[in-house]
Amino acid sequence: MSRKRAVKKEAVRLAPFIHTEKNAPYIYLTLIAAMVPCSIYAAFYYGLRAIILILFCVVTFTLSDLLFTHIAGRGGKGEYFDLSSASSGLMLALILPPDTSLITALTAVLFGSIVTKQIFGGPGSNLVNPAAAGRLFVSLVMPSAVKGYAEGGTEGWFMLRTLIFGSKSGEFHDYTNCSFPELITGNFPGSLGAACATCVLLGGFFLVMRGSIRLYAPISYFVTLTLFFPLSNLLARGTSFGYDGYIAFMLSSGVVFVAVFMLGDLTTMPSRFTAGFFAGMVCAMLTLIMRAFVRPDTALLAPVLSVNFMSFVLDFLMKTISRRNLRSREVDVR
């Protein structure tokens, strides 16, 4: 009897009936796997506090999402458990300074989870990247709690004091003093997991292999950064119109992490080539301009949120333009 009722229920489910290997849990699992190199980097350079901070962000983000879903009455319909919360929590932890206190991390998590994700309808419905929004929120609201980066190294492996008290000595460094080996291996003071360009690129390679990334925006982002860097240099330093410090900027500022894990995101970035390319370009331009006037972390993340906001408009416009010459109302499946 109950089986008949279940069959009946199944029969009245609405479309779409799309079955694919690359469903949401798969994509988020791939994203988490791609961030494993960065997590290992964080654990190696910053020790126990990095591991605790990462676990804390992942767990609290997941719990916050589950709780809000329960309160909003969206859960309990037998839907699968997606891993978007865990991936957002992990991404957020990796872009926090190593000396972030747990209370600061929790603030970022709650903002990212509730304000930017759950209020807009939960997984897949968020307009902006929750991790970037949470991180930017604490930068703007609690600037002294995330005022810079600390040196990594084996000496601080077991230091847990900062998890409670935060750090008083953090600062944004001048990375032009760093040698290339330091820059490429992430052996300089940076965010918890985003400082090592090698690890980020390794994760990006994994995403490409697994087909869980759109490359339009990241590529246009890198190209625009490269082309317009001299102009930004002039704005930021007021002295030279050239590529002085270009390598240091590209490898130390976190733009590689932004390109791979934020601009390649399937949820918050435009799905079409033209729109994605345009969004990447705009993001890069904003970053280059803002780095002359605001804190490095703000200059890095505010442009991401800006293009996140405009991505659905861009997608809509590009779809309309592409359909202008079509005779029928066929669905564009590209």
Q: For binding to another protein (CB under 8 A), which residues are involved?
A: 21, 23, 26, 29-30, 33-34, 36-37, 40-41, 44-45, 151, 153, 156, 159, 161, 165, 168-169, 173, 177-179, 181-182, 184-188, 196, 198-199, 202-203, 206, 209
> What's the closest the beta carbon of residue 169 comes to another protein, in angstroms?
4
The CA distance from 284 to 300, in Å, is 9
Cα atoms in the 13 Å half-sphere on the side-chain side of 16: 3
> What's the closest the beta carbon of residue 228 comes to another protein, in angstroms?
28
> What's the closest the beta carbon of residue 303 comes to another protein, in angstroms?
28
Cβ nearer to another protein, comparing 179 with 322:
179
Cβ nearer to another protein, comparing 33 with 140:
33
> What's the closest the beta carbon of residue 201 comes to another protein, in angstroms?
10
Cβ nearer to another protein, comparing 29 with 52:
29
Cβ nearer to another protein, comparing 150 with 314:
150
* Cα–Cα distances in angstroms (integers) from residue 287 to residues 95, 226, 245, in the given order: 16, 12, 15
- For the beta carbon of residue 181, count every other beta carbon within 10 angstroms: 8
Query: Interior CA angle at 271 toward 268 and 273, to 5°?
Result: 130
Cβ nearer to another protein, comparing 161 with 237:
161
Cβ nearer to another protein, comparing 185 with 298:
185
> What's the closest the beta carbon of residue 153 comes to another protein, in angstroms?
8
Query: Interior CA angle at 207 toward 245 and 196, to 5°?
Result: 30
The alpha carbons of the chain give a radius of gyration, in whole angstroms, of: 21
The CA distance from 180 to 189, in Å, is 14
For residues 87 and 32, is the Cβ–Cβ distance under 8 A? yes
Contacts of residue 277, defined as CB under 8 A and 6 or more positions apart, other chains included, come to: 216, 217, 219, 220
Cβ nearer to another protein, comparing 180 with 316:
180
The CA distance from 282 to 287, in Å, is 9
> What's the closest the beta carbon of residue 147 comes to another protein, in angstroms?
10
The 8-class DSSP code of residue 145 comes to G
Q: What token pair was written down for 59?
A: 């767990």
> What's the closest the beta carbon of residue 203 comes to another protein, in angstroms?
8
Cβ nearer to another protein, comparing 61 with 188:
188
Q: What token pair was written down for 287?
A: 């970053």
- Distance from chain centroid for Cα 333: 27
Q: Phi and psi of 58, rounded to 5°?
A: -65, -50
> What's the closest the beta carbon of residue 42 comes to another protein, in angstroms?
10
Total residue length of the chain? 334
